[in-house]
Homo-oligomer: A and B are copies of this chain.
Amino acid sequence: MFSRRDAIGHRSETVRRANLSAIVRALHLRGPLSRSELGVGTGLTRSTIRGLVGELAAAGLVDEEPSPSAGTPGRPSPTVRPDSDAALALALEINVDSLAVAIVGFGGTIHELVRVDRPRAHLSDVDITSDLIELARPQIDALRDDPSLVGVGVAIAGVVRRSDGMVRHSPNLGWRDVPIGERLTAALGLDAPLWVVNEADLGAVAEHRRGAAAGADAVLYVTGEVGVGGNLLLDGQPLVGAAGYAGEIGHLPVNPAGQRCGCGSVGCWETEIGERAMLARAGRRRDGGREAVSDVIAAARAGEPRALAAVDHVGTWLGIGLAGLVNVFNPTLIVLGGHFERIHPLVADRLEQVLDERALRASRELVSIVPASLGVDAPVLGAAELALEPFIADPASWLRDERRVAIGG
C-alpha cells in the first residue's frame, strides 16, 4: 500500500527514539565523545542531550566521566563512554576453510574472537552446525541468560535469503536450499534474533565501519575468497535487492568467449579473477587455498614468469570488471579484500591504468582503490555489526522493560 518512504506514523516518541539512536550510533561508530561534541554532531541542545544521555546512563548503557581539560577556555564537558557490556552481539562465520566465533559489544569492543581453520571439504549443514556449536559452546553458554545479548549474526559464503536465513546456493560448501537460519536458531537456544547474511556484504559493512572504507559515501567492496563477491555500500548499507541476493558481482559476464563457470553460465568475472583461475594459470593446484596463493604471490615477486603472468592476468581482468562497476555505481572508493587485497601491491598500477582506459572519465576521476584493512576477520566483525544494529537503531527498546514486550509480542 504505502511505500516505506511514507515513514508511517510519527509521533513525539518517534523523535525521542531517533535522537537516542543518533547518540548511540555516534558513540558506537566514533567512540567516547563529550556531551558537547554530541550536541554539535546531532544539532540537539544541551538540555536535550542532558536528558537523553542521562537516560542512557541511568539504564547503564553509557558511563559519564570527567574529561581531562582540553586546554580551551570554558567548563569541561564530561566524556560519554559506551558501556561495551551493555549490548552484546554473537557473531558466527561459516567459511570454506574456517569457522569463527566472536562476541562484540556496544562501541565495537571485541570481547572474544576465535577462529579455527579446517580443510576445505563439502560438509553437510548438520555437520557444520554441530561443529560450529561445539566451537562456540563457551560463548553460547556465557550469553544464554545475558539480557545484554541483542542479536546473533551469521556470515556465510553463499547466496542467502535475508528473510529467514535460507542458503539458496553455496557452491563452495556444496549447499543448495539449506535452512541454516532455522538450524542455528534451534541449536543455539538463545533468546535473540538471528540473521544470516552473505559474507561479502558483511565484510563490506565491517570495512565501512571499522576499516579501510570508514565513513566513505559510496563504496564498492570486492573480495575474492574461493568465489568472487562484493557489493555497493550506500551510507554503510549494502544493496539488498528483492530478497538479499544482490551483490553477486563475481557472476557478471565479462567474457562470453571464456570458460564455463560453476554457476552454469559462461565467462563470469570469477572465471578470470577468482582464486582458482589464478592458481591454475600460475600452474598451481586449483584447490591449493591460501598457501598456494601466498606461493604465487611470492613467486611473482621473485619474478617467476608463470606466476607473474597469472597475477597480471588477474590485475587486468579485475580492472576491466571494476571499470564496468565504476560506470554502474559511481563509487568514491573501491576496497579490495581477500586475495585481491594480497595481490594489490603487485597490480595497483595496472588497475589504475585499465580504469583510465576503460571507465567513463567523469566517474573515473572520483574513485580511488585501496586494499581492505581488516583481513580475514572482516565478515565475522560485519556480522557482529549487523547483530548490534537493532540496538543501535532503537536503543529506546532496551531501556526500561520494553524489550520483553517487543520480543514477546
Residues of A36-62 whose CB lies within 8 A of B = 40-44
Contact yes or no, A328 B256, CB < 8 A: no
Contact yes or no, A12 B12, CB < 8 A: yes
Query: Is A75 an interface residue when CB atoms closer than 8 A count as contact?
Result: no
Contact yes or no, A324 B253, CB < 8 A: yes
A161-B362, A246-B330 in contact; A235/B4 too (CB < 8 A)?
Answer: yes
CA distance A1 to B169 in the complex (A): 39
Mark A1-45 against chain B: 1 for CB-CB distance below 8 A, else 0. 111111111111011001101100110010000000000111110
Most buried by B among A42, A161, A245, A246: A245
Of the residues B1, B11, B14, B42, contact of A6 by C-beta under 8 Å: B42
Contact yes or no, B360 A169, CB < 8 A: yes
CA distance A12 to B236 in the complex (A): 28
Find chain B residues with CB under 8 A from A249 CB.
Answer: 327-328
Find chain B residues with CB under 8 A from A331 CB.
Answer: 241-242
Q: Which residue of chain B has its CB nearest to the CB of A18? A: B10
CA distance A263 to B4 in the complex (A): 37
Mark A201-230 against chain B: 1 for CB-CB distance below 8 A, else 0. 000000000000001011000000000000
Query: Is A284 an interface residue when CB atoms closer than 8 A count as contact?
Result: no
Contact yes or no, A243 B366, CB < 8 A: yes
Of the residues B12, B22, B363, contact of A8 by C-beta under 8 Å: B22
CA distance A25 to B44 in the complex (A): 28
Copies per complex of this chain: 2
Find chain B residues with CB under 8 A from A7 CB.
Answer: 18, 21-22
CA distance A169 to B359 in the complex (A): 13
Contact yes or no, A244 B330, CB < 8 A: yes
The 6 closest A-B pairs by CB, nearest first: A241-B330, A9-B43, A168-B362, A265-B358, A245-B330, A246-B330
Question: Could you list which residues of chain A lie within 8 angstroms of chain B, going by C-beta atoms?
Answer: 1-12, 14-15, 18-19, 21-22, 25-26, 29, 40-44, 159, 161, 168-169, 215, 217-218, 232, 234-236, 239-249, 251-257, 263-266, 320-321, 323-324, 327-332, 357-363, 366-367
| Sample of 4 further A-B pairs with CB below 8 A, known A245-B360, A253-B320, A253-B321 | A3-B215, A5-B236, A243-B366, A249-B327
What are 18 A-B contacts defined by CB distance under 8 Å?
A: A1-B40, A3-B235, A6-B25, A9-B43, A10-B19, A218-B242, A232-B239, A241-B330, A243-B330, A243-B363, A243-B366, A244-B330, A245-B363, A245-B366, A248-B328, A249-B327, A249-B328, A253-B254
